[in-house]
Structure 1
Amino acid sequence: MSALSLDPRTARLVQAYEALSPSTLPALMQLYDEGATFKDPFNEVRGRAPIQRIFGHMFEVLVAPRFTVQHTVTEGDMAFITWDFEFGREAGGKTWHIHGASCIRYGAQGQVLAHRDYWDAAEELYEKLPLIGRLMRWLRGRLATPAAG
C-alpha cells in the first residue's frame, strides 16, 4: 500500500481487505455494523450477513481474488480508499485487474455503516470480454468527445 491512513479505523479496514481470504472473512465482517449497507456496480445490500455472502461468493467463483490498497484519505467519519483488485476466472488462466475506489462512512463506535464501491464495469470488465468488449469499445469511441485540435 502506498499511503496508509493514520486513522486506526481505516488502517484496520485496509489490513483486513489486503489479508482477505475465506478464513478471514468473519473478522472483516466484525468491522461492519450489523445494519451496514454495501453497494457496488452489481450489488446493493444491507446487513452483515448479505455483505458476507457477496464476498463469500467472490471466493467461490473467482481464482485467487486479492485487493491491494493504493491510497487512503480519512476525514471525520468518512474515508476514501483507492484499490486494485486482481483475480483469475480459471486456474492457470489470465489474471484480470480492476482499479476502483471505496467511500466508507463510519459510525460512532468506529464500525463501517456504509460502504460504496466505485469502478467502471464497462472499462474494467466488459471491454475485456471478446464479443461484448468489441461493442463496448465501439460505443466508447462513438460517444467520446473529439480531441481539440
Structure 2
Amino acid sequence: MNKNNATERLQLFLDFYNSLSQNNLNSLSQLYADNVEFVDPVHHIIGLEQLLQYFSHAYARLSSCTFVATAKIADQDQGCLSWIMTFTHEAIGNGKAISVHGCSIVHWNSEGKIAYHRDYYDLNEMIVGHIPLLGWVTNKIKQKMAKDT
C-alpha cells in the first residue's frame, strides 16, 4: 500500500473495496499487513491468511457489492470512513439490493499497510431483517421497545 496522506489512503481503501471480487482476493496482501487484526459484528480475525479465507467465503455467493463514502476522517496513522454498502446476495433478501450504513476504522503500520480494521454496522439492517421470520420478530421487538420508552 502506498504511504500517501491519510485522506488519499482512505480513498484507495474505498476504491480497493469497490473493485474487490472473488477473482482478485489475493490482492488483499497489497492492502493488509500479514498480522492484520480484523473485527466486525460477527468476526474477530487475526492474520492475512485468515482474512483471505473469510473474504473467500463472504464473496463466494455475493452477486454485487459497492461502497459509497459518506464521511472521511483521517490522520497520519489511522482513519475512519463512513459508508453505505449496497449488495446483492442470493441467500439474503431474495437477491434484492440491500443497503447498509456502516463505518470502518483502520490503522496503518509504518509500511502503509492496514494493521487493524474494524467495521461497525447494524447486523439487523444487513441480514437479520431480511430473513422472513427473524425480520418479523425483530420488528416486533423494536416496536415494543419504542412503546416502552
TM-score by length of 1: 0.82
**Residue by residue, what CA displacement relative to the aligned partner does 1:11-51 show, whole Å, maximum 9, x if unpaired?**
32122112112233222332111101001111110111111
Where structure 1 has 5 or more consecutive residues not aligned to the other structure, the ranges are: none
| Identity, % of aligned positions | 27
Please identify runs of 4+ aligned residues in structure 1 that moved more than 6 A.
none
Q: Which structure features the higher share of helix residues?
A: 2
Query: What are the within-5 Å matches in structure 2 for residues 68-107 of structure 1?
Result: 68-90=68-90, 93-107=95-109
Contact 2:72 2:80 (8 Å CA) reproduced: yes
Task: Provide the residue aligned with 1:58 in structure 2.
Answer: 58
Task: Provide the residue aligned with 1:12 in structure 2.
Answer: 12
TM-score by length of 2: 0.82
Query: What are the within-5 Å matches in structure 2 for residues 1-149 of structure 1?
Result: 7-90=7-90, 93-144=95-146
* Matches of 2:6 and 2:105, distance apart in 1: 17
Q: How much has 1:144 moved relative to structure 2?
A: 2.9
Mean CA deviation greater in 97-106 or 26-35: 26-35
**Residue by residue, what CA displacement relative to the aligned partner does 1:53-82 show, whole Å, maximum 9, x if unpaired?**
221112212222333333321123111011
Mean CA deviation greater in 54-63 or 34-43: 54-63
- CA 1:89–1:14 in 2, change beyond 3 Å: closer, same or farther? closer
User: Letter of the aligned partner of 1:103 in structure 2?
Assistant: I
Where structure 2 has 5 or more consecutive residues not aligned to the other structure, the ranges are: none
Mean CA deviation greater in 61-70 or 117-126: 61-70
C-alpha RMSD over aligned residues: 2.3
User: Letter of the aligned partner of 2:82 in structure 1?
Assistant: T
User: Letter of the aligned partner of 1:8 in structure 2?
Assistant: E
- CA 1:6–1:32 in 2, change beyond 3 Å: closer, same or farther? closer
